[in-house]
Structure 1
Amino acid sequence: MKSINLVLLAKLFVLYFFSSIAYSDTINWVGCGISKKAYMNEMSKSFKKKTGIDINIQGGGATKGIRKVSDKSADLGGSCRLYLPGNDLESSVSFEPLAWDALAVIVHKNNPVKNITLEQLKSIYMGELTSWKELGGPDHKIELFTRQGKISGVGFMIRKLLFYSPYVEFDSSQEFKSSGPLEKSIQQNIYALGISGISSARLRDLKILNLNGVSPDTESIKKGGYLLYRPLYLTYRKDSPRLKEIKAFIAFAHSKEGRKIMIKNGVVPYLRAMQLIFKQVEQERRAQRHSSTNYNYTNKYVY
């Protein structure tokens, strides 16, 4: 009887060992579609070749990339914004900046306009500049396409960088749940204008406008010449049971191989442009000084 119990225990141990190995070979990522296109799709494949660890990738947006990690329904997330101050749904998440991505102003490929100024862009979002004729285009109303809600990665960062207020209402012609449908709709509407991440927009058959005469290419982002940029973050919990695998992926993302993947996809590796942190602080202070609705960071978001 004793020998039978030992055999049974041995079988249970083997079963547990291999089931734990299978679990450790897959981690789940959810979040920002722009992060997904900028590095996750390609980087996860290279990471698997190097380590054998598979990353199951799902989209869903920046807010899911934070909150699904927070409630432990995902191991990793992608976000193009930081946590919302005072929001308990996001306070337990750690943010690892991996890349710098530009916010690109996008229009239909046949739109004759090539450049827009920062002030013109702000006026369009406020409904003050309404005709393409004022930008050197056709005598037709500008149809502004925006993201739904105020806490999407793109929507939040536009409000932060242009107006320094998360409460600003945009004069939208149409709103979209995610960046993909927004980009596709602008492909089909010659009078539409919107903003999306460069790493996503560059894959579409669209025209990307210069901003203040500067193109959102890798070099202009890196040097800070292009004004609208933001970090792309990897989100995780420090108490995650998958922390070892998470740390391994972070190290890979910052490695030479990881950086090459980012550059290939149109974003700048975070550690190669640390000066942008200080430039962005300056931009935010400038936006705050000119904003009519300053935001107190002690307030809680209610979205």
Structure 2
Amino acid sequence: MNALYRLQAISLIGLLGVGGWSGAQTPMESRADAVSLRAFGNDATARFLKQEKVALASRELSTISAIEAVADGKAELALVSRGAHPANAKEMTLAFDVIAWDAIVVIVHPANPVSNLSLRQVRDIYAGRISRWEQVGGRAEAIHLNAVAGPLDGVEYGLRKALFGRGNIPVAAERWYLNTAQLEAGIMIDPNGLAVSTLSNVQGNAKLKRLSIEGVTATTAMVAAGEYLLVTPLFLVYRKDAAETSGARRFLHFLQSDAYTQIAVAQAKVVPVSQAGALNDMFAVREQKLLAMLADPAPLLIAAETPIMAVVPIAPIKATGKGKKKPDSTAAPTAATAQ
């Protein structure tokens, strides 16, 4: 734990008495999905406490649960990795402000010889049209496609929207995980696994290999320049009727400040919105251009609609052969298992 997070923990302990919050101000309830929390949420929360003397009582949830907590009045704000889903009436009542941009990265085991995929190849893997590594220049092995099981997960939503035009479209994944952190852990031990995470979440992780897309490696510089094709905005979500003096808007102004922007730039994990240039204004057009690149229809080999899926446990690991480990296949949740 670095000094900044120790400061956060010590400050919270000092402010909390035996019977709870000992001062006049209570911690501000917030929620976050795993991607946003690791991308900037943990760091920003600690710095906000240090600078503004305001504590966030943050809890990690699935993307949709974090958003619903704000809509239901259980939290003042949420940090999430996707925008409002048009078919969700609750979400359409909230404000979604872009804080930063992150790269969606395809991850595999370091021993995998494949280093690059085209956008079409990624699309066809998720559509179920490519199911073996030799089809993309790899070994003669099956591709183990992994995904997050939660409904409308942020990064999965962004990827599917980019590849298929709709964030809730089903994909041909055979293994499902609670969140991106557990999904990454699964890829670390599976030489034939493939999944997506974000640059901010896997940068510097030697146990994962990031594939380039169309020959371009994901970096914050490539994201800002618009050269890397798969990107996702990271949002602060709050109620539209929140007062200008509310904790949510204070946190928003803090995240948009020049001081915090300079910190985010120096960390080189995400691209702050103020540094994203044309990407901010042209993202919708960019999405249409990506779909145009993939104009050849990719009929999915599974159901036409994505059921609302409950979060399921991580797939168990079985030992096979001499010390080798292979994740068990886990069927995708169905509507019958919905929350």
Task: Give the shorter-chain TM-score range.
Answer: 0.7 to 0.9
Residue correspondence of structure 1 range 1-303 to structure 2 within 5 A? 22=23, 24-202=25-203, 204=205, 205-240=207-242, 243-263=245-265, 264=267, 266-289=269-292, 290=295, 292=297, 303=308
Aligned residues: 279
**Per-residue deviation at 1:186?**
0.3
The CA distance in 2 between the partners of 1:119 and 1:278, in whole Å, is: 25
The CA distance in 2 between the partners of 1:172 and 1:105, in whole Å, is: 14
**Per-residue deviation at 1:243?**
4.6
Q: Which consecutive residues of structure 1, in runs of 5 or more, have no partner in the other structure?
A: 1-18, 294-300
Identity of aligned residues (%): 28
Q: Which consecutive residues of structure 2, in runs of 5 or more, have no partner in the other structure?
A: 1-19, 299-305, 309-339
Higher RCO, 1 or 2 (CA under 8 Å, sep at least 6)? 1
More helix by share: 1
Q: Give the direction of change, closer, same or farther, for the CA distance of 1:20–1:32 in structure 2 (3 Å limit).
A: closer
- Secondary structure of the residue that 1:282 maps to in structure 2? helix
- Secondary structure of the residue that 2:50 maps to in structure 1? helix
Q: Judge conservation of contact 1:105–1:196 (CA < 8 Å) in 2.
A: yes
**Per-residue deviation at 1:292?**
4.8
The CA distance in 2 between the partners of 1:167 and 1:256, in whole Å, is: 35
- Secondary structure of the residue that 2:91 maps to in structure 1? coil
Q: Judge conservation of contact 2:106–2:211 (CA < 8 Å) in 1.
A: yes
Q: Please, what TM-score do these two structures have when normalized by structure 2?
A: 0.76
Deviates more, 1:113-122 or 1:258-267: 258-267
Per-residue CA deviation, residues 85-136 of structure 1 (Å, 9 max, x unaligned), is 2422222211111000110100012212111110111111111112212222
Q: CA RMSD in A?
A: 2.5
Q: Give the direction of change, closer, same or farther, for the CA distance of 1:159–1:54 in structure 2 (3 Å limit).
A: same
Paired residue type of 1:39: F
**Per-residue deviation at 1:238?**
3.4
The CA distance in 1 between the partners of 2:174 and 2:87, in whole Å, is: 32
The CA distance in 2 between the partners of 1:20 and 1:182, in whole Å, is: 36
The CA distance in 2 between the partners of 1:119 and 1:82, in whole Å, is: 24
Q: Please, what TM-score do these two structures have when normalized by structure 1?
A: 0.84
Q: Judge conservation of contact 1:42–1:261 (CA < 8 Å) in 2.
A: no
The CA distance in 1 between the partners of 2:162 and 2:235, in whole Å, is: 17
